[in-house]
């Protein structure tokens, strides 16, 4: 037997094991490393959305501040890509505030109630003698109360003429309303403007609570009108004595 044969056989086996190890390293699928591939080693546009497994990149995988407005393609984030809770919040957000003016002109006291879907936020008032046909007036009340605004006028004592009617009170109430992004109207509630109650809210009692609040607001408005009317009547009776 050739004495070199065992040595040759051993070397052959060793090289075979080495090649097997190299081949295994080339096909390994469980390699984990941190920062082993830098941005400079990735070709531009080499990683496309089709090559990213759905759900493989989470918020926790992104570096703080890595996603900026400048890195998001215009119109790439659509409503369909947002979570349902986010879409609902955006659709229900107050997007448009509007005002409506409601006016009234009546002898002595004028009252302007806002539409049911709006709340009074301000009032403008004055007293008018109707070109001298009525008594000259002094404004003694211009208030927002409940669901409307009221203007009330006293007769001016120095020029009072008992044969003339009381001055004309004029009021303009500014009524605030709004709409959500999806067009849902906002309505007055105990907590201010809020989206109109849908069927589910009406069923769970929210609608009934809002209706009761509206009733109370109207009653408060009428109570203020009655109070001012009584004050004006007392003043006129004193002038007539």
For the ranges 49-58, 141-150, 212-221, the lowest mean pLDDT is seen at 49-58
- How confident is the model over 152-182, as pLDDT tens digits? 999 999 999 999 999 999 999 999 988 877 7
- How confident is the model over 187-212, as pLDDT tens digits? 777 776 677 765 455 555 667 777 88
Q: Is residue 144 scored above 70 in pLDDT?
A: yes
Domain boundaries, the chain: 96-240
Q: What is the pLDDT of residue 127?
A: 97
Quick check: pTM over 0.75? no
Q: Which residue has the higher pLDDT, 45 or 137?
A: 137
| Rounded distance between C-alpha atoms, residue 214 and residue 225, angstroms | 17
C-alpha distances in Å from residue 181, one per residue of 77, 96, 196: 18, 8, 13
For the ranges 84-93, 120-129, 145-154, 207-216, the lowest mean pLDDT is seen at 84-93
């Amino acid at each position: 037997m050739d004495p070199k044969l065992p040595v040759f056989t051993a070397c052959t086996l060793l090289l075979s094991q080495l090649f097997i190890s190299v081949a295994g390293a080339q096909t390994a699928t469980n390699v984990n490393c941190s920062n082993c591939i830098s941005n400079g080693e990735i070709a531009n546009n080499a990683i496309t959305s089709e090559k990213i497994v759905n759900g493989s990149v989470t918020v926790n995988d992104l570096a703080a501040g890595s996603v900026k407005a400048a890195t998001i393609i215009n119109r790439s984030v659509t409503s369909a890509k947002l979570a349902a809770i986010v879409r609902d919040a955006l659709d229900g957000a107050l997007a448009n505030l509007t005002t409506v003016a409601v006016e009234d002109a009546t002898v002595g006291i004028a009252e302007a109630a806002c539409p049911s879907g709006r709340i009074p936020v301000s009032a403008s008032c004055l007293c008018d003698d109707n070109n001298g046909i009525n008594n000259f007036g002094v404004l003694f009340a211009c208030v927002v109360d409940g669901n409307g605004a009221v203007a009330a006028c006293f007769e001016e004592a120095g020029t009072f003429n008992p044969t003339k009617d009381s001055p004309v009170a004029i009021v303009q109430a500014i009524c605030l309303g709004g709409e959500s992004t999806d067009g849902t109207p906002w309505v007055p509630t105990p907590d201010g403007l809020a989206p109109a109650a849908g069927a589910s809210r009406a069923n769970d009692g929210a609608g009934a609570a809002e209706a009761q609040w509206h009733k109370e607001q109207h009653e408060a408005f009428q109570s203020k009108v009655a109070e001012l009317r009584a004050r004006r009547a007392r003043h006129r009776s004193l002038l007539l004595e």
